């Protein structure tokens, strides 16, 4: 199923952010923006908030608790060893391995969370409306079907806000990279 999209190409970050803010003021749904590097102002202007930091914090909290519980169980409850009268519950010796395994767990779980959330997996064809969005241009995409009669007004808005190029395109398997 081919869908029509409206693509705006911007040369600078400032022009993109101004266009995003103006489109949000007019209550127009922006499908996606593509930038060569993260532009936090544009993401904030789109009204999107990420709960990724909360997920990473929870992963770290539960990983640290899990590692500490495992270490306590294995070295104190299940198989305590007596080394020259030292206590078997030597908490300071647990700290280093807990930190290392917590960082490892947060990294791996965050990778899986991001991959699932972004719908990215090995072998998946990636649809990119304009290749320049990964090089040096800033790309703003609207779904033409949802714009309806507002499409010419959105084209004018993007040109007024500094778009170097605005064009309509059919999204199809040709855009797959």
Residues 19 and 72 in one domain: no
Residues 56 and 98 in one domain: yes
Residue 62 resides in a domain = yes
Confidence band of 177 (pLDDT split at 50, 70, 90): low
Per the structure, the count of domains in the chain is 2
Residues 43 and 67 in one domain: no
Residues 60 and 108 in one domain: yes
Residue 122 resides in a domain = no
State how far the Cα of 154 lies from the Cα of 144, in Å rounded to an integer.
10
**Domain range spanning residue 45?**
3-49+127-175
Residues 143 and 107 in one domain: no
Whole-number pLDDT of residue 174:
55
Residues 40 and 67 in one domain: no
State how far the Cα of 64 lies from the Cα of 20, in Å rounded to an integer.
41
Question: The CATH number of the domain where 11 resides is what?
Answer: 3.30.70
Confidence band of 172 (pLDDT split at 50, 70, 90): low
Predicted confidence (pLDDT) at residue 40 exceeds the cutoff of 80: yes
State how far the Cα of 27 lies from the Cα of 123, in Å rounded to an integer.
36
Q: Which stretches within the chain are classed as H helix? A: 13-25, 40-46, 52-72, 92-117, 144-147, 151-160
């Amino acid at each position: 199923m081919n869908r029509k999209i409206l693509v705006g190409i911007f040369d600078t970050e400032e022009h993109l952010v101004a266009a995003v803010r103006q489109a949000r003021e007019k209550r127009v749904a922006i499908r996606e923006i593509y930038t060569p590097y993260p532009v936090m102002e544009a993401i904030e202007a789109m009204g999107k908030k990420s709960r990724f930091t909360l997920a990473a914090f929870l992963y770290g909290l539960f990983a640290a608790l899990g590692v500490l519980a495992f270490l306590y169980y294995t070295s104190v409850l299940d198989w305590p060893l007596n080394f020259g009268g030292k206590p078997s519950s030597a908490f300071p010796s647990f700290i280093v391995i807990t930190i290392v395994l917590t960082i490892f767990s947060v990294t791996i779980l965050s990778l899986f969370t991001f991959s699932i959330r972004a719908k990215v997996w090995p072998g998946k064809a990636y649809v990119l409306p304009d290749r320049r969005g990964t090089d040096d241009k800033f790309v703003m995409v609207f779904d033409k079907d949802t714009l309806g009669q507002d499409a010419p007004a959105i084209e004018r808005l993007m040109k007024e806000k500094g778009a170097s190029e605005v064009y309509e395109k059919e999204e199809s398997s040709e855009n797959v990279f």
